[in-house]
Every structure is written in structure tokens, then in C-alpha cells.
């Protein structure tokens, strides 16, 4: 049985006081919750939120990580810097990193391998642009991003990997993929993982959907066979909406 995994990506929002306050509200709301939950504040609020989350089951995530352990890498953050703060999950290959900051599959793969080496769980984001969808190559693009992103990742390490399918045209735009369209790509990703690893690894892999997830489309998405969780951006920024999403029926 795959455990439902719902993650909130706060992007470049919230100062330390706001972040601590939101984390505090979530702790009380999710005290009896069985689902796996993660929040990823900006780097500047990680230490503060780590303190607030102590003793709770909510996981602390980071939104990105550099591809090196240390050295002359101005502006980068190493895996050790994250784990030292209590971060246990890192989001890699988010579409804003790929398309706004030019991160390619080779760089993302280096980050994936380094994060896994340091026992971080990863959420590897993949997804096609609108242009790629209109050209009918969404499946190829996503398959390629999964294959390249996971190069060198062992079957054992796959237990630390969540894949997030996030069609770029649905992120922050208010447009959601239909549950059926999303599930088609999720099914394809699971099939690919079965081919790359094994039936067991593919069937156990958690695949999240992301892209304008809101309380009112959560249940429909989560009812699909191959959608095991959600990566939520805008709607994770207020306690009310994120709590409704996590507690969907």
C-alpha cells in the first residue's frame, strides 16, 4: 500500500514570523493525521520552522539544493547544510528551476545522487510545457526527465524517491490537468519505473500530482488509481486551504 504524501511548497513566500505561525497552525490541525505531510519553507525560514516542527510528524522540506558538498559555490546550499537544520526531504527539478533558472537534466541528476547519498528523501519534479503538450510529446518529455533524473539511482535508493508530475502549464496558472489526463501520465511513469527497476519498485513508488491543486479539485485527483499524493504551491500558503487539501474526503 502506498502512503498518501501531501507536500506544500511555499516558494519565495513568508518571513520567519509568518512561517513559524503557519507551521504552528498546521501542527495542531494535523496532530492525528495518518498521511505523510511535508512543508518546504524558503531557506531563510528553515531553522525557525525546524524548531516549531520539533516533536511533530510534519516533515521539513527544502525547495532546492546545490550539486556539491562544499567549496567555492557562491549562493548554493549543500546537503549537509540542510540535514544539519533537520531537513529530511528536498524538492529537485521543480519547473521554476528548470525553466526560469535553466537547470537541465544532467545538473538535476547530480543533485539527485548527492541528496540520496546524504540520506535525504527527494521529490523529483517532471512535467511538460504547454508547447510540448500541444505537439503531443508530453509522454516522451516526461519519460526522458524521469530516465535522466534517476540515472545511477539504485533500486534500494528508490525508497527515498517521490516523483511529482507537474505539467508546467498548470503551475500557478489556475489551470489543472484533468484528473484523467494526470492519471494517464502517472500510469506511464509507474510503467516506466517498473521497466527501469522492478514490478515491486514501480508499484511502491509514490507519484504526486502538482499544478493548481485546490481544496475543490483534491478529491477528484486523489481518487485516481495512480495519483498517490500532491505537491501544492499557492494553496499551501494559507492554513485553511492546505488543511482542507490534506483532510480531503
Active site residues: 94, 166
List the one residue out of 103, 69, 99, 104 whose CA is nearest residue 84: 69
Which residues, including other chains, have CB under 8 Å from residue 233's CB and lie 6 or more apart? 8, 9, 11, 171, 172, 210, 213
Strand locations in the chain (E): 5-9, 36-40, 59-62, 89-92, 121-126, 161-165, 206-210, 229-232
Handedness of CA 118, 119, 121, 124 (dihedral sign): positive
Under rule CB under 6 A, residue 232 binds ligand PEP = yes
Q: How far is the CB of 211 from ligand PEP (least distance, A)?
A: 5
With CB atoms as reference, the residue minimizing the distance to ligand PEP is 233
Footprint on residues 151-170 left by ligand PEP (CB under 6 A): 166
Under rule CB under 6 A, residue 231 binds ligand PEP = yes
Q: Judge whether 163 and 189 are in contact, CB under 8 Å.
A: yes
Query: Cα 21 vs. chain centroid, distance in angstroms?
Result: 22
Q: How far is the CB of 222 from ligand PEP (least distance, A)?
A: 15
9, 48, 78, 217: which one contacts ligand PEP (CB under 6 A)? 9
**160 vs 121: CA distance, rounded Å:** 5
Under rule CB under 6 A, residue 191 binds ligand PEP = no
Footprint on residues 15-74 left by ligand PEP (CB under 6 A): none
Host H or E run for residue 149 = helix 138-149
Q: How far is the CB of 96 from ligand PEP (least distance, A)?
A: 7
How many binding residues for ligand PEP (CB under 6 A)?
14
Q: How far is the CB of 171 from ligand PEP (least distance, A)?
A: 4
User: Which range, of 51-59, 67-75, 185-193, 204-212, touches ligand PEP by CB under 6 A?
Assistant: 204-212
List the one residue out of 126, 131, 234, 235 whose CA is nearest residue 182: 126
Footprint on residues 75-114 left by ligand PEP (CB under 6 A): none
| Binding footprint of ligand PEP on the chain (CB under 6 A) | 9, 11, 166, 171-172, 210-213, 231-235
Amino acid at each position: 500500500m502506498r502512503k498518501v504524501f501531501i507536500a506544500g511548497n511555499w516558494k519565495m513566500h513568508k518571513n520567519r514570523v509568518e512561517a513559524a505561525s503557519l507551521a504552528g497552525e498546521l501542527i495542531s490541525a494535523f496532530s492525528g493525521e495518518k498521511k505523510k505531510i511535508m512543508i518546504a519553507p524558503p531557506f531563510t525560514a528553515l531553522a525557525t520552522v525546524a524548531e516549531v516542527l520539533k516533536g511533530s510528524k510534519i516533515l521539513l522540506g527544502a525547495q532546492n539544493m546545490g550539486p556539491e558538498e562544499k567549496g567555492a559555490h557562491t549562493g548554493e546550499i549543500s546537503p549537509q547544510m540542510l540535514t544539519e537544520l533537520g531537513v529530511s526531504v528536498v524538492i529537485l527539478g521543480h519547473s521554476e528551476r528548470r525553466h526560469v533558472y535553466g537547470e537541465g537534466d544532467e545538473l538535476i541528476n547530480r543533485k539527485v545522487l548527492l541528496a540520496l547519498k546524504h540520506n535525504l528523501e527527494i521529490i523529483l519534479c517532471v512535467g511538460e510545457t504547454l508547447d510540448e503538450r500541444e505537439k503531443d510529446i508530453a509522454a516522451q518529455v516526461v519519460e526522458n526527465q524521469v530516465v535522466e533524473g534517476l540515472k545511477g539511482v539504485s533500486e534500494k535508493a528508490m525508497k527515498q524517491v517521490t516523483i511529482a508530475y507537474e505539467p508546467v502549464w498548470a503551475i500557478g496558472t489556475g489551470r489543472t490537468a484533468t484528473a484523467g489526463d494526470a492519471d494517464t501520465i502517472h500510469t506511464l511513469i509507474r510503467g516506466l519505473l517498473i521497466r527501469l527497476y522492478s514490478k515491486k519498485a514501480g508499484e511502491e513508488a509514490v507519484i504526486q500530482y502538482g499544478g493548481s491543486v485546490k481544496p475543490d479539485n483534491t478529491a477528484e485527483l486523489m481518487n485516481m488509481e495512480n495519483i498517490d499524493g500532491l505537491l501544492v504551491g499557492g494553496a499551501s500558503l494559507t492554513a485553511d486551504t492546505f488543511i482542507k487539501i490534506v483532510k480531503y474526503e
